[in-house]
Structure formats: C-alpha cells, structure tokens
A and B are shown apart, each in its own frame.
Chain A
Amino acid sequence: MHEMSIAPAILDLARQHVPKGAALRTVRVCAGPLRAIDEQSMQWAWQALMDEQSAGPIALELTILPWKMRCSECGAEWESAEAAWRCSCGSTEVRPSGSDRLQLVSIEVDDVETPMLERSSSCRSR
C-alpha cells in the first residue's frame, strides 16, 4: 500500500501550485507501470487522506500508462495494462518494458481574478 504515502505527496505538491485565493478541485497524476500503483488502492488512499485532512472535495484523476510489449520472435509490439507473456504468434519470448514516471501533470482550481495562462496538458506514454 505505497499508495498511502504517495497520496499525501501528491496533495502537498499540488497545493504548492494553487494560485493564492483559489481552491484546489482536481489533481491529475500520471504513473508508469513500474510504479506498481493500483488505481483502486490509490483512490481509496486519496479518499482516506481527504477524510483525515477534512480537505476537498478534491478529485484525483489518475492515468496509469500501459506496459509496452515486444516479441523477440516476430517483432510485434503492443501495449497492455498487464505485462503479457505470450505473443499472438505463440512465442513466449515477450519482453515487457515500462516507464517509472510518477508525475503531477496538472491541477484544476476554482477561478481566481488574476488571469492565468491556460494550457493543455496530457499524460503521454514515453
């Protein structure tokens, strides 16, 4: 349950980026598969943190990047939520690889009077 210690790290970092006077409403986080984050556990840990701190409601939007698989036999490449062990060609010579990213991508805050540059952000697999 490393999600329990990751949740406060997300909240602390997000709060550092909240403009003065604004309220934090949503945090968007991106995690590579090597971080071994379970989405349900992460949401549970986040909710426990909200309850503990009487914070919120602040939504956590979590994107977990897929594993990338490559078959050494036929060269096929594909992505999957789970590390796969068999290629459609029948070979078990499949190598999973993944990112170890764990990033706060963006936050959503209530509007404040000071105009801020609004930029799109995304969580892309590298």
Chain B
Amino acid sequence: MQVQVVQNVLKLNDEMAALNRNRLRQAGVFTVDLLGAPGCGKTALIEATLRRLVPRIRVGVIVGDLTTQRDADRMARFTDHVVQVNTGTGCHLEAHHVMEAMARIDVGSLDLLFIENVGNLICPVGFDLGQNVKVGMFCTAGGDDKAAKHPYIVQESSLLLLNKTDLLPHLPFNLQLFRDDVRRLNPAVQLLELSAVTEVGMELWLAWLEQQRSMKTNNKEKKSCIQNHSVLS
C-alpha cells in the first residue's frame, strides 16, 4: 500500500534553523555562514575581519571542524565569543550544532556572528543553519575551474569571495574564465576578489558586511551602534 507524504526531508533541521534565526533576529545579531573548501582561507578571512572590527563591533564565531580546537584558538586571540564545534566524521554543520553552540555564548551581547562551516564545497550548502546570509569562498590556489565544478555553492550564496589574489602572479589561474563561470551560474551574485593575508580587497568585504548588517538587523539600538562605530564611517 502506498502512502503519499510529500514532505521536506530536512524538516527537522529547517525547524531548528528557524528557531536559531528567530533567536538571532531578536538579539539583533547579523549572522554569516561562511562556506568553502579546506585551506581556502576561511579562518584567515575571519581573523583579518576580527582584527579590523573588534572591539568596536562585538563579534562571535562558531567554527566547525571534524577535529581539533586549532581554529578556535586562532580566533580567541581576537574575541572571547568563540565556540569550536567538532563534528567527528560529519562533513558539514547542521542547525542543531549551531543551536548547541549558541547556548555556549552570550548571543545577546553580539552584533555579528560568523559560522565557519566545515571545509567542504558541497555538503554544507543544503543545510540551513539560521544564518542571514551564506557566503561562498573560493581561492586562486584551488584552480580556476572550481566555480564551474561546484554550481551548488555558486547558486546558493548571497556573496562569493575569491581569496588569495596575492598568489595570482604565481598561478596559472584564468581570472576571466572564473568570473565568466560565476556570472553564467548566478548572474545576480556579487564576486569580491581579495587576499586575507595582504588584506587587499578587505575594504570591499567589510563594506558589504556593513551594508548587509544595516539592511538585515532589526535591532535599532545595535544597528546604530554598529554604524556609529564602523571602521568605514
């Protein structure tokens, strides 16, 4: 006997993500889910961002890795609000990981929360965590074909980053091909090219963050606080 169902398989995850999103919205926290392959520079970008923003803006980080506390240790040099999530064998973060991590930080005291997902260009894309935006990251060292080979992240991201542009003179990376692939896959998405190490291009990233936060943060008090203390203002 057949029973028709037609229900979202990730219903439970999505319900937990909605709870996370609601809590973060009420707390006035703008939340970024940062996705990218291992070694593309997610942690380095967050470090460079923290270096620019803290303590003027209160930033928290939830960082996912299969194992070790190394990324949390790196971020802890800049902020006390860091939670390392070890997924064991899990290749991505799910909403329950974020919910558990949020219980370990004072979410209400934050203006901005980064969720650094487990290094992976495929698996994390389909899991809602309760974030405001998904930011997909590529790097020049990964090769110019990575956008074309990973259409999921290109189409599902609110912003794409190409990191390690300082290495371009040393790599056979066809920048125009990469840009064209991104444009064909997602004409609406903005692509920012930067180096988290030399910090060339960081201003564009920080400006994007600032703009998105002011658009998507409901808490008026925090919003004005961020704007008043912005490094860009």
Which residues of A pack against B, CB within 8 Å? 1-2, 4-6, 9-10, 12-14, 17-19, 22, 29, 33-36, 83, 85, 92-98, 100, 102-112, 116, 118-121
Contacts and interface: CB of A to CB of B under 8 A. Distances in A.
> Size range of the interface on B?
20 to 34
Contacts of A6: 9-10
Contacts of B92: 2, 5
A76 B92 CA distance: 37
Given A2-B126, A14-B5, A94 B156 contact: no
Given A5-B90, A35-B152, A95-B184, 5 more contacts: A5-B94, A102-B8, A106-B5, A107-B3, A120-B4
Given A10-B9, A95-B187, A34 B126 contact: yes
B2 A107 contact: yes
Contacts of A85: 148, 184
Contacts, number: 113
A105 B155 contact: no
Interface residues of chain B: helix, strand, loop or mixed (majority): mixed
Contacts of A29: 9
A101 to B, nearest CB: 8
B123 interface: yes
Interface in B143-169: 148, 151-152, 155-156
B185 interface: yes
B103 interface: no
A13 B152 contact: no
B8 A103 contact: yes
Contacts of A119: 2, 4
B127 interface: yes
B91 interface: yes
Contacts of B49: none
B1 interface: yes
B156 A100 contact: yes
Interface string B166-191: 00000000000000000011010000
Contacts of A13: 5, 7, 9, 11-12
A73 B94 CA distance: 40
Interface string B117-159: 0000011111100000000000000000000100110011000
